[in-house]
Amino acid sequence: MTKKTTDIKQADNPSRRRFFKKLWGWIALAAGVELAGLSIPFISSGRKKQKKKETGTFTGIVPASDLPPGSVFPYQSGRLYVCHLNDGGFLAVSITCTHLGCSVEWNEKKKEFICPCHHSMFSINGEVENPPATRALDIYPLKIEGGMVKVNLSKPIERKHFNKSQETHA
Ligand code: FES
């Protein structure tokens, strides 16, 4: 038997054909899974955007004129503080410590948020002043409408640090 005849016989081998058929099946399945993996986040991000629009209601918290610069207003039911910074900007800062989730308290004397659990400290704009926390306090979308500070309580925004673009001015 020549080598050519052996090759033809091997190609016609039914078990070999079954093997290749299965192999193509697995490749097609893997491609399908990959495609689904790419398209599901795309579809769900569209849904999230839609949901954000639906839940984007702002709640009136406090008249802006009631908060002099450098002051903090605790809004207990929303678990946040409305902060009026010295430069005139407003921020809605989450009460939840970014270390392990305890509730930070405003210390009027020190002008800092202090976490009672492991003593992380945050400035009035939520920036970390003292570890173990490594990330600024979350903020909520805020706007001032008709002289009233309004906050969207639907979802806090995570941030690494404070920057001026996060402020809202009256
Ligand atoms: S939970 Fe706030 S410092 Fe640890």
Pocket test for ligand 1, best of 94, 96, 98, 102 (most atoms within 8 A of CB): 102
**Phi and psi for 60 in degrees, rounded to 5?**
-70, 130
- Quick one: pLDDT at residue 10? 52
Taking the C-alpha atoms of residue 85 and residue 163, their distance in angstroms, rounded to an integer, is: 12
> Which two structure tokens, joined as six digits, stand for 138?
């979350």
Whether the per-residue pLDDT at 48 is higher than 70: the answer is no
Taking the C-alpha atoms of residue 102 and residue 156, their distance in angstroms, rounded to an integer, is: 16
Q: Is 97 in the pocket of ligand 1 (CB under 6 A)?
A: yes
Amino acid at 130: N
Going by pLDDT thresholds of 50, 70 and 90, the confidence category of residue 42 is very low
**Phi and psi for 129 in degrees, rounded to 5?**
-105, -30
Average the pLDDT over 151-158 and give the result: 94
In the reported structure, the alpha carbon of residue 121 is separated from the centroid of ligand 1 by a whole-number distance in angstroms of 9
Whether the per-residue pLDDT at 51 is higher than 60: the answer is no
SS3 per-residue string spanning the chain: CCHHHHHHHHHHCHHHHHHHHHHHHHHHHHHHHHHHHHHHHHHHHHHHHHHHHHCCCEEEEEEHHHCCCCEEEEEHHHCEEEEECCCCCEEEEECECCCCCCECEEECCCCEEECCCCCCEECCCCCEEECCCCCCCCEECEEEECCEEEEECCCCECCCCCCHHHCECC
Whether the per-residue pLDDT at 143 is higher than 60: the answer is yes
User: Within 13 Å, how many C-alpha atoms sit on residue 166's CB side?
Assistant: 22
Q: Is 120 in the pocket of ligand 1 (CB under 6 A)?
A: yes
In the reported structure, the alpha carbon of residue 133 is separated from the centroid of ligand 1 by a whole-number distance in angstroms of 6
Whether the per-residue pLDDT at 39 is higher than 50: the answer is no
In the reported structure, the alpha carbon of residue 94 is separated from the centroid of ligand 1 by a whole-number distance in angstroms of 14
Lowest mean pLDDT among 51-55, 116-120, 137-141: 51-55
> How remote is the C-alpha of 136 from its chain's centroid?
13
Contact between 88 and 69 (Cβ < 8 Å): yes
Going by pLDDT thresholds of 50, 70 and 90, the confidence category of residue 152 is very high
Going by pLDDT thresholds of 50, 70 and 90, the confidence category of residue 43 is very low
Contact between 164 and 131 (Cβ < 8 Å): no
Q: Is 132 in the pocket of ligand 1 (CB under 6 A)?
A: yes
pTM above 0.85, yes or no: no
Each residue's pLDDT tens digit, 57-96:
999 999 999 999 999 999 988 799 999 999 999 999 999 9
